[in-house]
Each structure stands twice: as structure tokens, then as C-alpha cells.
Structure 1
């Protein structure tokens, strides 16, 4: 029986690759719903008609008419006459992804970017469907809201690092784990000092050496904020304390993560950098999809390089640990401030070092003023913390820019 799949963020990097996996394996999967922001109506329409989905979600209500026209144009291009194809239901607005996540299906792949994925994640878990989670931010900002809503095994990570950890832990007792080792490519600026990062441009930050990803995650990889978020994600997914989660630099991105056990052995998951492998595993879990990606070529001499993380030049992982250990809404603050700072950097309103510096300042203020007597996490408290962190980050960006211009 084919698995029914809903894809959130279908026009993004994860979404488009997931649809390629589905198209190559029509006997295993069928797409029932797609959702996207609405910036590429033509692509969204092609996806909807090619996979004969029942629902199309568009986050930007202003893009709804464009998507509807694109659906008509795509149907005409395919020479569909009236009655020859199923017209999907179009849902537009901020709750479109939530409605797509609630479409009856077996798997919801959340490939959205940013904390906007939190409510769709909770909606998917509420249906009982497997959540193939590429939107790490929803888990990080939601914390125990998400883990508490999930049944055992309901969340399958799609991040390559956490997919690697899940594979290495399959069939193992968590009590036998000494530590998790999350690998980092080091990004495009590996080996540079903090001073050498002062004049980095957005184009340089977008030139990732091993992965082809969307703009936000690529810049997060350049600052290593992404790796910090992954440390929090690993803690939440596998219930391992932060003191037992390490990060090592591995430039070739062939070893995606490792698990060290109490007897001294280390389990490694290795494959050439290709997101289709963890995507396919997320869709088919616990099964594997044959030939979805190329394996390592063992006929040639190979060297794997590992090095410690330079936390002086790249303090983002340390900040993320602080946010994760403090808990409550601190991870939401970390993520929200970073999203604002990345946008400011791309727009030319903030220097590269200013991203993590500003995030650190917002986080420090939040922790210092947090009311620890009300520790229970609620959706309302997360959303409120998100809004306040964005406002504070914007204010600090403006003051930093003003200081530079004087």
C-alpha cells in the first residue's frame, strides 16, 4: 500500500527534492497535499497537477489568485479538458499549512523554514500521522510542547545529522549511549579567525562548500547557528543531556553524525552529501528506499578529516547550548532573533559578525529578565517570546547600523 504524503514547503529545497523522490517511487508514495508560501505560483501549480493533490495551501493570501491562475494555465499546458483532471482545493492565508498538515495522510513532511512551522508541526502530530521533520525550528522553539504532543516514534528527523543519529540508534538502548557527536562541515569560512570574518558578504556566506540548500539554512551554516540549533534538536529528539552532545568539524560532510557507546565503540553513518537519502528515509521510515542516493565509493583511497570547533570565531554553538540548558522560551528567543538578523544581513543592514553578536545580546537580556517561576511552556508564551525577540533584535540592528554610520 502506498503511503499518502503531505508536503509543507513544497517549492523549497527540501520540498522539491522530496517530490523527486516520490516521482521516482510512485509505487511507494502518493502526494495528497502541498503547501508553500506562494512566491512561485507556477511551480506550485505544476506540483499540484503532476501529483493530483487534493489540497494546495498558500501562506500569502495575496498570492491565491496567482496560484489559481497558474493552476488553470498548467491544466491548459497539459491539454487537460474539463473533467479530465481533479481540481485541488485551494486554501490561502496563514493557516494554509496547518490545514495541509491536517489532510488525511500517513506522513507529513514539514519542510518549512523558520518558526512559522511550529503550528503545522503540532497539527500534524495531532492527526497521528508520522511527522518527517525537516523544520528543526518548530521542535526547537516548541520544545516540550512538541515532544509532549508526539507519540513514541512519531517524529522522524530529516536533518541529515539527526537522521544519521536515528539510524545509529535503531535497535540500541539509550542507556548504552555515552555521547552524540554531531558533525559540521565548518561552512565556507572554516579556518578563519573572528577578525577575518568582519567583511564577509552575503554572496560569500551563500557559497557552501558541500551542500546545496536554501538561503536561510545556508547562512545559518556559515555562522554555525544551524549547528547550534541542531544540538538543541538532538537533545529534544533523543533525550541526551547537553553535556553529552559534542560538535566536531568534518569538512567533506560524508560522516553525518556519530554515536559513541559506553563500551568505547562508535557508530558512524556515512554517505555522500545528498538530502534525498534522509528525505526518503523520513518518508518511508522504518523502511529504506533502494537507490535513492549514491553510496560512498570505496574503490578509491579516502581520508576523513575531523577537527575541534573554534568557538572563539564561531560562538553560535555555545549560545545555543546556553539557550537549550536554560530552556523555557529561550530557544524560541534565540531562533527568532537569528531569523531577524539573517534577513538584515542579506539586506545589507547588518554585518556578518553582527548576526551572532546581536542574537547573543537578545538572548542575554531575555535570560536575565526571565520569570523562572512560570516555567510551563505554552503556545501563547512561545509566540509572545518570538514576537518580543524579533522586536528587540530589530532595535539592536538599527542601533548597530546607526553606530556604524556615525
Structure 2
């Protein structure tokens, strides 16, 4: 951390606010990571001698950050807090309302402490400014007596030690490898560009960022210039509200410009709905599509999606029941037997899905009308580019029915079978998927 005469603590009694600032030599992207990555923040949050545990970190307006801090030597009980984000401006500002919580994560009924954190690039580093507000002068005096400002300052000193160290964190490394593009509405979209040849954009599925499709992206990069990206609300991309599926098409349009003005599109499972919508909206800029097992439900061969699926998912996430949102998706949409859920929760992938639980409602909006047990709409898509719809040989029957239904309403659709594979192939068997996509798109 570099010295700066403005660094320090200011107690503003006229507004009952504590101001703490620090200047770092790290760039704003790295500092933002340290504030918004659940693993990273545990490495510096809290005063010296205290350890932090993060139980939830959903960095978006309305999302919650639940954490506890406790002395490393066990000399005092943990202090639990729930911070609800009110403002998230990518790499510029975080604001949240902080309340203390009991052991059951219920607010303890004491005051709410609005806090804002701004990140200002200096060209050679970044200034972090924290403003913690208190309801009245008495609460401010109590905070000063409890040395809350000193604890904040010590935490920011610890942050300096993290930022000055090597970039060895896996999550940070993946972010540092990403570039960004600004979508039409000002949203920052993070992407990774690899390989060479004709361009293809890999569109991820619900509840995953670009790392979820890393295998197929790498396999395709031998013959294509591949762009994989964090869809809005995921990874290093922003998530302005309210969510609108049309903005995701604008994100893909911006990535096509990065690719040089035209690109093929590919996706698996639930991402296929967005892929078709984008191809229809973007016309000649899309050169071809490879879709793996779009989960269309067009007849009675499988139970349709619940009519209130989107609204129910929104309600669960709004109530902080993110794990329940994943469980609802698994049981009601995927059809996983309830007795399998406890074992699934023990796998690390469950927490990754919990992190992106809000995206179930996002993709649910995109897939409306495609999973309700009725024929596909004939007026939703107009696509002239060649389309491959691949079905795993070992996949479910309703998937093949949906593939044939798509071929019946669009020209230039070829239904393919991928031997010896099931619905998981887009992620678990990227090589045969990429081989089939390559053969179809390149001829």
C-alpha cells in the first residue's frame, strides 16, 4: 500500500458518519475482486487477529452478504452481520445496509448502518473510500468508543497486504484473464477470447459463468476464434435491474462486434432459448448455430414447467432462500427425486449454483412458452442461418421430440445424434460435441 496524506479516518459529527480511505497500488479491477469475491474477502475482512467467514455473498442490488467475524484465539463469540446491497456499480461503487444478526441469522433489532464504498482509479492504483453512517450522534459516539473505525482501518491495512501479494487466487486469476465490453445499456460484460479461425460464441447455461463451458470452448478453439463470456448477473459481468431478456441479446451483439461483425453461436440445454432468440434478432450477423439438447417440452411426454415457476423463484431469492431456489429447480424442472437432494448438497457444485440462484428466474423468463407442453410458437424466430440441433443417443425422448418440433417450424434445421452421450455431454464430453459442431459449421 502506498502512503497518501488523505488516507485515514474522519469522524463527521454533522452527518453522523465515519469516513475511512486508503490508497493502493493495485488496479481497481483487483481491488474490486477483493471486495466482491467470497473467498477473497475472508482473507482480510475484520480487524487484526480476527477471522471472517462468509455464509452468503450475492453482489447485486437486493442481494445479501452474510458474514461473521470472530477472534482467531476464540476469546469472544462471533459477531454476525447481514449486509443487503442497495447499489452495485461495477468497479465503481458498492452500497449496503448493514445489520447485526443472531445465531439464526435474524436481525437483532438494533440499528441499521448504511455503508458506501467507492473505488476510484488513480491511473497507478486505486483509492477506496468507505462511509459508514449511523442513525444519530449517540450511535456514532458508541461506534467510536468501540473502536469501530480503528477496526475498519485495520481491515483496510490487511487488504493492502492481500493486494500487494501474488495473484494466486483461482477466482482472481480467471477474472484477470478476462476482457470486457460495454453493452448497449452500459452493462459491463466480461469475456474470454481464445483460438483462431472463424468466430463462435459459446453461451452458457443457467446458474453458471464462462467457466462452466470452459471444456467445450477449449475444444472448439483449435478451429475457431472462441468467445466465452459471463452472462449478465454472473461472474465478472454486471447485473443492472430490472432484468430484461432483450438486454442479453444486446450483450451478444456487442460480443459479435468484438469477434469482427459476425459469428456462429452455440449452447447447450437451457442456453439454447437465448441462442435462438439472439440469432433471430441479429440476422446475418449470426453465421450458424449448434444447439445441444434444447429442453423444449412440446407435448405430454414430460411434465411441463410450473406455471408460476419464475414468480416462485423470484420470491425464494428475495427471501434469501437461495439454496431452496436451487432445490426447486432440481425437483420441479429437472425432475430429480427429493431423496437425492441431501447428497447433492454435499457436492461443491451446489454452492456454485446457490451463488447464481437469481439466474433461474432470468432463464425462466427466456424459456417461457417453450416448456409448457404445447407446440413451439411459430412466430418467435426467423432464422436463415443453418442450425444443428444435436440430441444425445442416450438422452431423454422428450428432447428428441422437441428437436423435431424445431425442425418443423424453421428452415435449415438438421437434427443430429451424438453417439453414446446424454444430456450432460456439452459439459462432460466436450471433445465429441466440438467435433460434431466443427463438422456441421465448417463442413
- TM-score, scaled relative to structure 2: 0.29
More helix by share: 1
Q: Which has the higher contact order (CA 8 A, sep 6+)?
A: 1
Query: Quick check: which has more Rg, 1 or 2?
Result: 2
- TM-score, scaled relative to structure 1: 0.31
More strand by share: 2
